[in-house]
Copies of this chain bind each other. A is one copy, B any other.
Amino acid sequence: MSLIVVGTMAFDAIETPFGKSDRIIGGSATYVAYAAANFVQPVQQISIVGNDFPEAEMAELRSRGVQLDGVEVVADKPSFFWSGRYHMDMNTRDTLVTDLNVLADFNPQVPDAFQGAEFLMLGNLMPKLQKQVIEQLKERPRLIVMDTMNFWMDIAMDDLKEVLGMVDVLLVNDGEARQLSGEFSLVKAARKIMAMGPQYLIIKKGEHGALLFHKDQVFFAPALPLEDVFDPTGAGDTFAGGFIGHIARTKDISFDNMKTAIIVGSAMASYCVEKFGPERLKEITKEDIERRLQQFQELVNFDIELV
């Protein structure tokens, strides 16, 4: 039940209408790993960091069953750094700083020990690098899940479309689904995007939940109504980590099990936003996760009484 995760490990600095963080740990693969490791071990991580990434953070990840053999450490450069400011709705944000640093030269290498993995999670990263990892795998994983973002649609759409043809599940948000398809209706957008390659499409709508499309089927997962969203950074990556973690644990890639996986992803994301960075993900226990999954069931459970 091995799982490879590819993506960034980085520093973020975040401003929200409610607070401001210092330089804190971030990165798509970091969030995916913290979320997925609750469900499956080992998590086989492929990423790159600079000379400033704390050894304590690496140790923390290792203690949770995250194998870091695929994480390149560059001695003479700092880690990738992103800074952004969220708007009042906490769904939209402006990027203030993007320092690629080590990411500019990232040339991901799959360690021999990672070969044969059943599941591959391509966290948000340059599409070209996502493709490079797929191509290094001697055996195709049973399920390849890809996360991406509008930034790559703006500057690397051709690369992105090439990777789309190689993956099974795509994760995007509603704005990105519209941008990628040119359709406003998400139902129409889903049909067009699935024609580009992925058999399954997950459209994340932040506080409005998420939709899973597959052929003519559709499933809707709510977001938990929260009193406060403290920091949405990493919520999408955490969602992806919960999703692939559940799939890898159960080894079941049916549509029905993907529904459950989306609820698991939503539950993990609902914890992520409660504190800055991945802090909250480090605190929660299996019991916390179970309790929240129960809340999701109560949130949507109804008796249908046909008229």
Contact partner of A303 (CB less than 8 A), chosen from B88, B256, B299, is B256
| Chain A 244-286: CB-based contact to B (< 8 A → 1; otherwise 0) | 0010011000001001101110000000000000000000001
| Closest 5 pairs between A and B when the two form their complex, measured CB to CB | A208-B208, A220-B222, A259-B302, A187-B227, A300-B300
Taking a contact as CB atoms under 8 Å apart, the answer to whether A185 and B227 are in contact is yes
13 contacts between A and B (CB under 8 A): A39-B307, A185-B227, A209-B209, A209-B220, A209-B222, A219-B298, A219-B299, A219-B302, A220-B225, A221-B300, A260-B302, A289-B307, A290-B307
For the complex, give the distance between the alpha carbons of A299 and B259 in Å.
10
Say if the beta carbon of A305 comes within 8 Å of chain B.
Answer: yes
Which B residues lie within 8 Å of A302 (CB)?
219, 221, 256, 259-260, 262-263, 300
Say if the beta carbon of A226 comes within 8 Å of chain B.
Answer: yes
Say if the beta carbon of A132 comes within 8 Å of chain B.
Answer: no
Which A residues have a C-beta under 8 Å from some C-beta of B?
38-39, 88, 184-188, 205, 208-209, 211, 218-222, 225-229, 246, 249-250, 256, 259-260, 262-264, 286, 289-290, 293-294, 296-307
**Nearest CB of chain B from residue A221's CB, rounded to whole Å:** 8
**Nearest CB of chain B from residue A78's CB, rounded to whole Å:** 36
Which B residues lie within 8 Å of A293 (CB)?
304, 306-307
Taking a contact as CB atoms under 8 Å apart, the answer to whether B305 and A88 are in contact is no
**Nearest CB of chain B from residue A237's CB, rounded to whole Å:** 19
Q: Which residue on chain B has the smallest CB distance to residue A222?
A: B220
**Nearest CB of chain B from residue A180's CB, rounded to whole Å:** 17
Say yes or no: A299-B218 contact (C-beta < 8 A), given A187-B226, A307-B38, A307-B39: yes
For the complex, give the distance between the alpha carbons of A132 and B218 in Å.
45
Q: A222-B300, A260-B304 are in contact. List 7 more A-B contacts (CB 8 A).
A: A185-B226, A211-B225, A219-B302, A221-B302, A246-B307, A290-B307, A297-B304
Taking a contact as CB atoms under 8 Å apart, the answer to whether A286 and B260 are in contact is no
**Nearest CB of chain B from residue A263's CB, rounded to whole Å:** 6
